[in-house]
Amino acid sequence: MRFVAAVLATGSLFATALPAHAETGVSSSEIKLGITLPLTGAASPGYNKIGDAMNAYFKYVNDNGGVYGRKITLIQKNDEYSPQLSIAKTNELILKDKVFALVGPLGTANFTAVHKSVGLARRGVPSLFLNTGFSGFANKKAYPTSFAILPSYAMEAKIAAQFLKDNMAGKKLGLVYQNDEFGIDALGAFKAAGVKFDVTIPYTSGTQSAATAQTWVSQLAAGGAQVVVFFGVTSATAPLLAVAAGAKYAPQWILGSVGSDPLTLRALGVPVAVLNGALTLSGNPSPNDTNDEYVKFFQEINTKYNKAAFDDYVLQGMNLGLMTVQALRAAGQNLTRKGLIRAMENKGSTFASVGYSPLGYSKTSNVGHTGYYMAVMDATGDRKPYGGSVVVYTTDSGSGPVVKSTFKRPALPAKGLPTNS
C-alpha cells in the first residue's frame, strides 16, 4: 500500500482530462479489468491457467476491434490463495491499477475477505463471474455488485444426491469434503436430499497432502466405502486418488466439478488408470470435445494466443472472457460501473456461454449457471457423458427440485465475436 498515495496523486492529474462521462478504468481506447487468483503455490495447479486463457480471448477480441473500439487489458494478481493477500492485491487493482471491474476472482474465503475488507459493494466495483460456487454469494442484498458463474456447490450436491439415489442405492457411501463453506454447502444439500454417508471426512483447506490423504484412504477403506464422493480442490483430489491407487483401494469415485480436471490431476501425479471410470459432475463439455463449437473455437484461440495445454481451466478462462465481452457490450458505449451491473441484471441471462445450463441473472438474482450433467472418465482421462449423451439437470441452492433441463444453449457468436448490445 506504500505506493497508494503516489498513485492517487498521479491519478488526480489525469482526472480532469477525461471526458465528462469517464469512468474509472475506462478511457476512449482501453478498458482495464483485474483478477486475483493463485498463480503460484500448492493451490495454483490449474487455477493458474485461467487468467492467461481469459487474456488470450481478450487479445483475440482486441485484434478484432475491441469492445466499441476499446481494447481490454486484463491485470492478473497472484494472491497465492491467501485471503489476506487477496485483500492487498484487490486494493492494488482498485487503487493503483484503477481497474474498471474485477472478472473471475477466485476462491470462496478469498472473495469473502475481499468483499468485506475492500468494500466492493460500497465502492460500486462490479465483480463479474466469481470463480467459486459458494451459494452465499447468491445473496444479492449482501453482494449487490457481484455475479457468480459456477453453479453453486449446493446445486452440485443436490444433483449428485439425485444420482446417488438413482444409481448407487444400497452401496456404502463415503464423503471427503473441504471443511469450509465449500463442503458445508455440499453437506447441507446432501442432508436435505436424504443421502447418508457411512464415512464422512472433512479436511481443512491447506492441509491437503500425501500424508493427510493417507489417513483419508485408511478411514474410507476401514469404513468399507464403495462409492466415494469428493468435494474439494484439485490439489486435494490428486493425493487422494494417488494414495488410493497405491493402496489398491478402488471405490467408485464421484468427483466434484472443482477438483476433477483430468489434465491437472495427471500433472499432479495421478495415474491415468485411476481416472478410468471415475464419475464427475460437469457443467461444460469436455475440453477435448472438438465437435462442440465453443471448444473448437477456444482451442483455436488457445493455439494462436495462449499455447497452454488445453483443459477445463483454459476452457473456463476463455469462456469468462467471452461472457465479459458480452457484458461490456451490453453496458453500452458509455461504459459505467452502474451500467455494467444493470446490463448483467437485464441481459446477462441471454449471454452465450459454453455451459450447458441456463444462466440465472436477473434484477433479483446474481446466480450464474444452474446445472450439471454426470460424466465418466475413460482410459485416456477424457470425460464422456454418463450414459452416452449429455443429460443436464438444473436446480437451485435451496429446496427446489432437481429437474431435467430443456434449456437450449445459445450458439457461439459468429467468429466468437459478440455483437450483442
Partner 1 sequence: MRNFKFKRSLTLVTVSSLLSLTVVSIPTAARAADPACTTANFVTTCVGTTSDTAPYSMMVPANFNGTVYLYSHGYRPNVPVPAGIPGYGGYTVTNTPQPGPNATVIGALLAKGYGVVGSGFARQGWNADSAIKTNVELVGLFKKQFTKTTKVVAWGESLGGFITQALAEQQPALFKAAAPLCMASDVTPLMTMAGDALWGIKTFFDPTIKGGSYSAGAAGYAEAMGDLVKVFTAIGSLQAAFAANPSTPAWPATSKVPDAIKAIPSRSALVLVALMSGIPMQSAHFDSTSAPAGLPASNALSFQLAINPAFAALENVANAAALAVLATHDLELQAGGAVFDNTATDYSARVAEEQFAWSSALSGVSGTQGLLSVLAASPRAKADPAAVAKMKALASHSGKVEIPTILFTGTADPVTVAGNQQSVLDKYAAYYAEKWAAAKKAGERKRPVNNQLALWNFPAQKYTKFTSAGAPDTSVPAASGTNHCNFTTSQYMAIADLLAYAADNGVNMSGGALLTKIRKAGNMTLDRGYSAPKMKYYGN
List contacts with partner 1 (CB under 8 A).
1-2, 4-6, 8-9, 12-13, 41-43, 80-85, 88-89, 91, 94-95, 108-110, 112-113, 116-117, 119, 122-123, 134, 136, 178-181, 183-184, 202-209, 235
Residue number with CB closer to partner 1 (79 or 292): 79
Q: What's the min distance (Å) between Cβ of 253 and partner 1?
A: 21
Residue number with CB closer to partner 1 (127 or 326): 127
**What is the DSSP-derived secondary structure letter of residue 195?**
-
CA atoms in the 13 A half-sphere facing the CB of 399: 1
Place of cell 482421462: 381
Phi, psi of 326 (to 5 degrees): -65, -40
Residue number with CB closer to partner 1 (24 or 286): 24
Q: What's the min distance (Å) between Cβ of 143 and partner 1?
A: 12
Residue number with CB closer to partner 1 (110 or 306): 110
Neighbours of 217 (CB within 10 A): 25
Give the DSSP H/E element, type plus range, for residue 392: strand 392-394
Q: What's the min distance (Å) between Cβ of 346 and partner 1?
A: 26
Percent of residues in the chain assigned helix, strand, coil, to nearest 5: 45, 20, 40
Residue number with CB closer to partner 1 (185 or 289): 185
In SS3 terms, 60-104 reads as: HHHHCCCECCEEEEEEEEECCCCHHHHHHHHHHHHHHCCCCEEEC
Q: What's the min distance (Å) between Cβ of 11 and partner 1?
A: 9
User: Which of 37, 54, 181 is closest to 106 using CA atoms?
Assistant: 37
Q: Residue 91 is placed in which grid cell?
A: 486494493
Q: What's the min distance (Å) between Cβ of 230 and partner 1?
A: 16
Amino acid identity for residue 250 in this structure: A
Q: What's the min distance (Å) between Cβ of 258 and partner 1?
A: 16
Residue number with CB closer to partner 1 (42 or 168): 42
